[in-house]
Structure formats: C-alpha cells, structure tokens
Amino acid sequence: MTDKQDRFCEEYMIDLNATQAAIRAGYSLKTAREQAPRLLANVSIQNRIAQLQAEQSRRTGVSADRVVRELAKIAFANASDLIDPETASVKLDASRDDLAAIQSIKVKSFGEDGLEHEVKLADKLRALDLLGKHLGMYNGTSDNSADQLKKAQEILEGVNSVIA
C-alpha cells in the first residue's frame, strides 16, 4: 500500500466520504470522484479501513452490538415504565435501560406552585425501523418471516439478558 493510499484510509475514517478523503489525501480534484470507488474496491485498502475501524471501536467502546442494544432500549421502551401519570414527571424507580429512551426533559414553573413537566422520548418508530433494517426485514420479499422471527428472537434474548 502506498503512503497516499494509507492517507486515504486515515482520511476516510474522518467522515466516511470517499471522494473527500481522496481529495484530502492528495488525489486531484478532477479525478477524486472516479478514484474514490476504485480505492474502496482495493482489498488492501478495505483491510486497512477494517483495521482502523476495529481500533476505533476498541478506543471508543462503540460496537455494532452496543448500537443495536441502545436502539432496542428505545424501540421497546414503554412510557408507562418511565412517566408517573399523576405528576407527568419521570418515575424515580425507572431503570437505567428505560431512561435511555428519554431524549429531553423540560420543567417550566408557573407562579409559586405551578410546574409543567415535558418528557420527550426518543423516536420509537425510527428505532424500530433501524432495527428492522438491521435484521433485513425490508428486503422486498414477504416470505422471510421464519428467518426474521429467529433474528428478532435472538436480539430480544440479548436485550433481555442485558436488562436482567
């Protein structure tokens, strides 16, 4: 691998934009758009990018499994486990996993005794959609239910073991 190709890999890790990475690595503006897919198709470059991604994952503690677990927390959170209906505030005994679904909390005061609580949960439908895509549930066929059910059960078992 050339120094320029290695630099491309390093630059690619910044924003995952191959064309911009090629430009920053020193490829010409004219040819960067054509060079980018060729560079990404190079096996040595693919291996180097995979190595850099693995190093980044170790450094940051972020992995695909961790992302899926966080999405599952949001997707399967139940507002009744989080919010006290009488006070419209977050329950004190809410679990850490349930709290992960909270996007924001606003408290407004009105006079001496008036408080208004607003608890906004993360987008449950978006989390479900991302999980569905991860499981390959939207691949255009309707005859994949057995495989998808098995994958969904595996993820739920993993989430349940984390929650328990």
Q: What is the pLDDT of residues 59-117, one digit of tens each?
A: 999 888 899 999 999 999 998 998 888 887 899 999 999 999 999 988 888 877 777 88
Contacts 24+ apart (CB under 8 A), 52-57: 52/9, 52/10, 52/13, 53/13, 56/13
pLDDT value of residue 161: 60
- 57/150: higher pLDDT: 57
Q: What is the rounded average pLDDT of the residues 134-153?
A: 67
- 137/3: higher pLDDT: 3
Q: What is the pLDDT of residues 8-66, one digit of tens each?
A: 999 999 999 999 999 999 999 999 999 999 999 999 999 999 999 999 999 999 888 89
User: Which residue reads 């005994």 in tokens?
Assistant: 93
CA distance 128 to 111: 40
Q: How much is the pTM?
A: 0.60
Domains of the chain: 3-60 (1.10.10.1400), 63-164 (no CATH)
Burial of 43 (0-12, 13-18, 19+ CB in 10 A): exposed
Helices 64-75 and 145-163, packing angle to 10 deg: 90
